[in-house]
Structure 1
Amino acid sequence: MGDVLSTHLDESRRAYISDRAGKLLTEFGKIYEDQYGVALFNSVRYEIEGNGGPQTQLLHRKVPLKDRVIFSGNLFQYLDDTKKWRNRFCLVPHHYGPVLYDNKNAYERGLQPRAGINCAGYRVLTSLDQYAELLNTSVPGGKVKAGSSQMKCATQFPLILWHPYCQHYQFCVMNEKEQERWSAVFQDCVRHCNNGIPEEPRVESAAFTDSVRLYRQARDQYGTWDMLCGNQVQVLSNLVMDDLIPDLKNIICPKLRGKPQERQRSWLLISDQVYRSVHEQTQQYFKGLEKRCSDKRAEMESQIRTDMDQIISCKEHVYSKIRAFVLPKAELCVRNHVQSHIPSILEALMLPTSQGFSEVRDTIFREITEMNMNLVNEGGREKLGEHMEKISQLGYHPVKMQPCYEKMDQLNLEGLQQRFDVGSPAVFRQRAQILMREQTDNAVFTFEQMVHQELNKSKGEENVCRDIQRILERVLKKYDYDSSSVRKKFFQEALLQILIPFLLKKLAPTCKGELPRYQELIFEELSRFVLVENTYEEVVLQTVMRDIVQAVKEAAIQRKHNLFRDSIVMNNSDPNLHLLGDEPAVDWGEQYANPNEAPNGGRHGRVRQVVSMIQEDEDLDTVTSCQETPANETIPEEPESSDVNQIRGMLVKEFDVPVPVPELKAEQFLERTVLKEERVHVTQIQEERSKPVHEEESRGAEVTREETDSRVAEENTHSDSRTENEVEEVTVSQKDHSVAESDELHSCQDETEDLTSSDQDITHGNRQDTADDVAYDDPDVAHYIQEVTREAVAHYAQELAREEQELALAHTSSDNQPEEVPDEVSSQEQASTQCHAPSQLPKEIASLDLSAEDKTTYVQEQKFTPDDSGFQSPISEGDEEAEGYREIPVPAPRKSRDEIITPF
Structure 2
Amino acid sequence: MGDVVSSHLDEGRREAITGRTTEVMKQFSDVYEQQYAVALFNSIRFEIEGGGAPQSQLLHRKDALAGRSIFSGSLFQYLEENRKWRNRFVFVPDSYTISLYESKTAHERGLHPKGTINCAGYKALNSIEQYMELINTSLPGIKAKAGSTPFIKCASQFPLILWHPYARHHYFCVRTEKEQKKWHAVLQDCVRHSNNGLSEDCTIQTPAFTDSVRLHRQAKGHYGTWDMMCGKPPQILANLVMETLHPELRTIIGPRLKGKLQQRQKHWMLISDGVYRQVLSRTTGHYEALMDACEAQRGPLDARLRTDMDQIIASKEHVSSKMRALVLPKAEQLLRTNVQPYIPSILEALMEPTSRGFSEVREVFFRELVEISKNSLNGEGKDILGDHMERLSMLALHPVKMQSCYEKVEQLNLDGLQQRFDVANPSVFVGRAQILMGEQMDNAVYTFEQLLNQSLETKGEDDVCKTIQRCQDRVLKKYDYDSSTVRKKFFREALLQIIIPYMLQQLSPSYSPELPRFKEMIFEDFSRFLLVGNLFEEVVLQCVSKDIMMAVKEAAIQRRHNLYRDSIVLTNSDPNLHLLGESPQVDWAAKFGADEPEGCVGGGRSEGGGSGSRRRQVVSMIQLDGVPLPFESCLEVPGVELIPEEDVSEGTEEDPDLPEEAKSPDRVVEIRDLINPVVAVALPASTESPTDLTNGTAVTTGTVTWEDGVQEDVTHVTTMVEDVPRKAPRETASTQAAVQQLVENTKREHDEERQEEAAARGAVEEIEEAAQDDDSGRITDVSAAESDNESSAAPQPASVSGSQSDSGSQSPANGGPDEDAPQPITNGLNGEDKVLDPVEVEVLLA
Instruction: Indicate the TM-score class for this superposition, using the shorter chain for normalisation.
Output: 0.7 to 0.9
Task: Give the letter aligned to residue 237 of structure 2.
Answer: L
Query: Which whole-Å deviations, capped at 9, do the CAs of 1:208-267 have from their partners, x for residues lacking one?
Result: 000011010001101100100011111111111112112212222222211111111111
Instruction: Check if 1:383 corresponds to 2:410.
Output: no
Structure 2 Cα separation of the partners of residues 371 and 77 of structure 1: 39
Q: Secondary structure at the match of 1:172?
A: strand
Instruction: Check if 1:124 corresponds to 2:124.
Output: yes
RMSD: 2.2
| Distance verdict in 2 for CA 1:401–1:214, change over 3 Å | same
Q: Do the aligned residues in 1 keep the contact of 2:599 with 2:620 (CA within 8 Å)?
A: no
Task: Give the letter aligned to residue 430 of structure 1.
Answer: G
Matches within 5 A, 1:405-804: 405-459=406-460, 461-594=461-594, 606-614=614-622, 615-622=642-649, 629=656
Where does residue 41 of structure 1 map in the other structure? 41
| Distance verdict in 2 for CA 1:287–1:479, change over 3 Å | same
C-alpha displacement of 1:457: 1.2
Q: Do the aligned residues in 1 keep the contact of 2:387 with 2:595 (CA within 8 Å)?
A: no
| Distance verdict in 2 for CA 1:231–1:431, change over 3 Å | same
Task: Give the letter aligned to residue 56 of structure 1.
Answer: S
| Distance verdict in 2 for CA 1:481–1:603, change over 3 Å | closer
Task: Give the letter aligned to residue 277 of structure 1.
Answer: Q
Task: Give the letter aligned to residue 309 of structure 1.
Answer: D
C-alpha displacement of 1:79: 1.1
| Distance verdict in 2 for CA 1:631–1:514, change over 3 Å | farther
Aligned residues: 632
Where does residue 76 of structure 1 map in the other structure? 76
Where does residue 403 of structure 1 map in the other structure? 404
Q: Do the aligned residues in 1 keep the contact of 2:600 with 2:615 (CA within 8 Å)?
A: no
| Distance verdict in 2 for CA 1:597–1:198, change over 3 Å | closer
C-alpha displacement of 1:546: 0.7
C-alpha displacement of 1:588: 1.5
C-alpha displacement of 1:618: 3.2
Query: Which whole-Å deviations, capped at 9, do the CAs of 1:656-678 have from their partners, x for residues lacking one?
Result: xxxxxxxxxxxxxxxxxxxxxxx
Structure 1 Cα separation of the partners of residues 185 and 576 of structure 2: 38
C-alpha displacement of 1:299: 0.7
Structure 2 Cα separation of the partners of residues 21 and 598 of structure 1: 47
Where does residue 265 of structure 1 map in the other structure? 266
C-alpha displacement of 1:287: 0.6
Structure 2 Cα separation of the partners of residues 52 and 260 of structure 1: 56
Task: Give the letter aligned to residue 318 of structure 1.
Answer: V
Structure 2: where are the runs of 5+ without partners? 605-612, 623-641, 660-846
Where does residue 17 of structure 1 map in the other structure? 17
Structure 2 Cα separation of the partners of residues 419 and 484 of structure 1: 29
| Distance verdict in 2 for CA 1:52–1:620, change over 3 Å | closer
Deviates more, 1:347-356 or 1:82-91: 82-91
Query: Which whole-Å deviations, capped at 9, do the CAs of 1:275-306 have from their partners, x for residues lacking one?
Result: 11111111111111111111111111111110
Task: Give the letter aligned to residue 310 of structure 2.
Answer: D
C-alpha displacement of 1:67: 3.1
- Give percent identity, aligned residues only: 58
Task: Give the letter aligned to residue 394 of structure 1.
Answer: L
Task: Give the letter aligned to residue 188 of structure 2.
Answer: Q
Q: Secondary structure at the match of 2:197?
A: coil
Q: Do the aligned residues in 1 keep the contact of 2:33 with 2:294 (CA within 8 Å)?
A: yes
Q: Do the aligned residues in 1 keep the contact of 2:70 with 2:618 (CA within 8 Å)?
A: yes
Deviates more, 1:423-432 or 1:595-604: 595-604
Where does residue 359 of structure 1 map in the other structure? 360
Task: Give the letter aligned to residue 236 of structure 1.
Answer: L
Matches within 5 A, 1:321-332: 321-332=322-333
Task: Give the letter aligned to residue 513 of structure 1.
Answer: P
Instruction: Check if 1:291 corresponds to 2:318.
Output: no
Where does residue 159 of structure 1 map in the other structure? 160
State the TM-score, normalizing by the size of structure 2.
0.72
Matches within 5 A, 1:823-842: none
Query: Which whole-Å deviations, capped at 9, do the CAs of 1:368-404 have from their partners, x for residues lacking one?
Result: 1102212332524232221111000100000000000
C-alpha displacement of 1:413: 0.3
Structure 2 Cα separation of the partners of residues 385 and 496 of structure 1: 45
Q: Secondary structure at the match of 2:172?
A: strand
| Distance verdict in 2 for CA 1:607–1:316, change over 3 Å | same
Q: Do the aligned residues in 2 keep the contact of 1:389 with 1:588 (CA within 8 Å)?
A: yes
Where does residue 67 of structure 2 map in the other structure? 67
C-alpha displacement of 1:149: 6.0
C-alpha displacement of 1:497: 0.2
Larger Cα-atom Rg: 1
Structure 2 Cα separation of the partners of residues 596 and 49 of structure 1: 48
Structure 2 Cα separation of the partners of residues 344 and 598 of structure 1: 47
C-alpha displacement of 1:148: 2.6
More helix by share: 1
Query: Which whole-Å deviations, capped at 9, do the CAs of 1:841-895 have from their partners, x for residues lacking one?
Result: xxxxxxxxxxxxxxxxxxxxxxxxxxxxxxxxxxxxxxxxxxxxxxxxxxxxxxx
C-alpha displacement of 1:143: 4.4
| Distance verdict in 2 for CA 1:601–1:217, change over 3 Å | closer
Structure 2 Cα separation of the partners of residues 603 and 341 of structure 1: 53
C-alpha displacement of 1:586: 1.3
Where does residue 883 of structure 1 map in the other structure? none
Q: Do the aligned residues in 1 keep the contact of 2:138 with 2:265 (CA within 8 Å)?
A: no
| Distance verdict in 2 for CA 1:375–1:626, change over 3 Å | farther
C-alpha displacement of 1:443: 0.5
Where does residue 831 of structure 1 map in the other structure? none
C-alpha displacement of 1:592: 2.3
Query: Which whole-Å deviations, capped at 9, do the CAs of 1:123-173 have from their partners, x for residues lacking one?
Result: 011111111110111344844565536232111111110000100011111
Where does residue 700 of structure 2 map in the other structure? none
Q: Secondary structure at the match of 1:159?
A: strand
| Distance verdict in 2 for CA 1:599–1:223, change over 3 Å | closer
Structure 1 Cα separation of the partners of residues 426 and 599 of structure 2: 47
Structure 2 Cα separation of the partners of residues 610 and 556 of structure 1: 36
More strand by share: 2
Q: Secondary structure at the match of 2:173?
A: strand
C-alpha displacement of 1:513: 2.0
Structure 1 Cα separation of the partners of residues 570 and 579 of structure 2: 17
Query: Which whole-Å deviations, capped at 9, do the CAs of 1:567-616 have from their partners, x for residues lacking one?
Result: 11111100111111112211222232148999989767822111111142
Structure 1 Cα separation of the partners of residues 135 and 653 of structure 2: 55
C-alpha displacement of 1:85: 1.2
Task: Give the letter aligned to residue 345 of structure 2.
Answer: S
Query: Which whole-Å deviations, capped at 9, do the CAs of 1:687-716 have from their partners, x for residues lacking one?
Result: xxxxxxxxxxxxxxxxxxxxxxxxxxxxxx
Q: Do the aligned residues in 2 keep the contact of 1:373 with 1:624 (CA within 8 Å)?
A: no
Task: Give the letter aligned to residue 172 of structure 2.
Answer: F
Deviates more, 1:32-41 or 1:616-625: 616-625
| Distance verdict in 2 for CA 1:602–1:197, change over 3 Å | closer
Q: Secondary structure at the match of 2:69?
A: strand
| Distance verdict in 2 for CA 1:603–1:298, change over 3 Å | closer
Structure 2 Cα separation of the partners of residues 405 and 182 of structure 1: 15
C-alpha displacement of 1:625: 12
Task: Give the letter aligned to residue 282 of structure 1.
Answer: T
Structure 2 Cα separation of the partners of residues 565 and 53 of structure 1: 14
Q: Do the aligned residues in 2 keep the contact of 1:75 with 1:172 (CA within 8 Å)?
A: yes
C-alpha displacement of 1:445: 0.6
Query: Which whole-Å deviations, capped at 9, do the CAs of 1:76-102 have from their partners, x for residues lacking one?
Result: 111112112111111111111111112
| Distance verdict in 2 for CA 1:384–1:87, change over 3 Å | same
Task: Give the letter aligned to residue 76 of structure 2.
Answer: F
Where does residue 246 of structure 1 map in the other structure? 247
Q: Secondary structure at the match of 1:582?
A: coil
| Distance verdict in 2 for CA 1:529–1:447, change over 3 Å | same
Query: Which whole-Å deviations, capped at 9, do the CAs of 1:728-780 have from their partners, x for residues lacking one?
Result: xxxxxxxxxxxxxxxxxxxxxxxxxxxxxxxxxxxxxxxxxxxxxxxxxxxxx
Q: Do the aligned residues in 1 keep the contact of 2:192 with 2:435 (CA within 8 Å)?
A: yes
Structure 2 Cα separation of the partners of residues 606 and 381 of structure 1: 20
Query: Which whole-Å deviations, capped at 9, do the CAs of 1:348-375 have from their partners, x for residues lacking one?
Result: 1000000000000000000111022123
State the TM-score, normalizing by the size of structure 1.
0.68
| Distance verdict in 2 for CA 1:520–1:630, change over 3 Å | farther
Structure 1: where are the runs of 5+ without partners? 633-904
